[in-house]
Amino acid sequence: MKRREFLATTGAVTLIAATDPFAPTPGPWRSYRVTTTVTFTGSAPVQAWIPIPNFSEASWISASPAMSHDGNAATAQVVSGQNGQAAFVHATWPANAANGAARTLVLQNSVSTRDLSVDLARPGHAAPLSAGDRARYLAPTTNIPTDGIVKTTADKITAGASTDLEKAQRIYAWIVENTYRKATVRGCGLGDVSFLLETGDLGGKCADLNGLMAGLARASGIPARDIYGIRIAPSRFGYKSLGANSTTITKAQHCRAEVYLSDYGWVPTDPADVRKVILEEPPGNLPASDPKVVDARKTLFGAWEGNYMAYNDAADVALPGSSGKPVPFLMYPQAEVNGQRLDSLDPANFVYTIEVTANAS
């Protein structure tokens, strides 16, 4: 049976046949425009923090520095947080500022992406990380510690491995084989790596499972990072579960993970998406032997599709003007009404929408 491919076009989703195996390779760049709209009612003071792209890698993603915004916010400014590791628009509406009208903010940004693939059979000499970046990508965060049960688990998984590549591959395989995608977890999960390991319930979503990838790698001495972003286009290889199958992508957030290997540079990995294929790819609950699962497991260590916009790779992001705690990661709009943090995973009450348009190419 032929696989199917869904390509997003302006204002519609087009269905065409696809016969290629799941083998992303660098090719043409594709450009998209992403529009984020937030809306608030009532008269209480409001402030919002809306993530915008702040992550670029020459091999697969380029976010335009130009960003436009519209609406009736009293103030709206681009802020760089976490020493430049994240960027967002901080908007405020004082009490009664809109004279009874809904408070709105509309952001538009552009991004160009393409597939990424690293040939693991051909080691080379990647540009070394700076001392600062190496320290950052080995450091623990609130949700991703590198000691205790994380370190103990990493040591067991990698025992006997002689290279960083072998260690990273073992960690990836362990996550694929021992975790599961838990459908009842809200959003992308909390990303609390220690909690997963301590409870023994290794069910979660992408921030959880790819957080494990980053944490176990760091605990093994391998620089690693989680990338927080959103799916912006369907899979060109027919994976319904691995793409945005509508131009409305409000709930399409996704966390990816990379490990830095000295012979290859940054290597893409996504064990969470392997588990997503198992659970969600039609007809659902696929066995590990299913060809789509086998392909996904093989491909998602070393390659991924360019149907994705990264916001940032920051952790523990402080929101200026808020008295609340930093957020562990920033890929959802955040807001406070009258000083109370809203639930960013409940867009029905904290009203926001995210739309994407594929530019003609």
Residue 5: per-residue pLDDT: 33
Give the predicted TM-score (pTM) of the model.
Answer: 0.92
Is the domain of 348 the same as that of 334? yes
Tokens of 243: 């793409």
Whole-Å CA distances, 44 to 74, 116, 344: 13, 46, 18
Can you give the CATH number for the domain in which 184 is found? 3.10.620.30
Give the whole-angstrom CA distance, residue 89 versus residue 104: 13
Is the domain of 300 the same as that of 211? yes
| CB of 309 closer than 8 Å to CB of 32 | yes
Instruction: Please state whether beta strands 30-40 and 224-231 pair in parallel, antiparallel, or not at all (unpaired).
Output: unpaired
Residue 53: per-residue pLDDT: 94
Residue 359: per-residue pLDDT: 84
| CB of 56 closer than 8 Å to CB of 309 | no
Tokens of 11: 């204002």
Range of the domain at 173: 116-311
Give the whole-angstrom CA distance, residue 6 versus residue 140: 39
3-class SS at 290? coil
Is the domain of 145 the same as that of 244? yes
| CB of 239 closer than 8 Å to CB of 292 | yes
| CB of 256 closer than 8 Å to CB of 36 | no
The DSSP H or E segment spanning 214 is: helix 206-219
The answer to whether residue 22 sits within a structural domain is no
Residue spans of beta strands (DSSP E) within 262-350: 265-269, 303-304, 308-312, 334-337, 340-341
The answer to whether residue 353 sits within a structural domain is yes
Q: Within the chain, which residues score under 50 in pLDDT?
A: 1-19
Is the domain of 281 the same as that of 231? yes
Query: What is the chain's mean pLDDT, rounded?
Result: 91
Residue 361: per-residue pLDDT: 52
Number of domains in the chain: 2
Residue 87: per-residue pLDDT: 93
Residue 42: per-residue pLDDT: 86
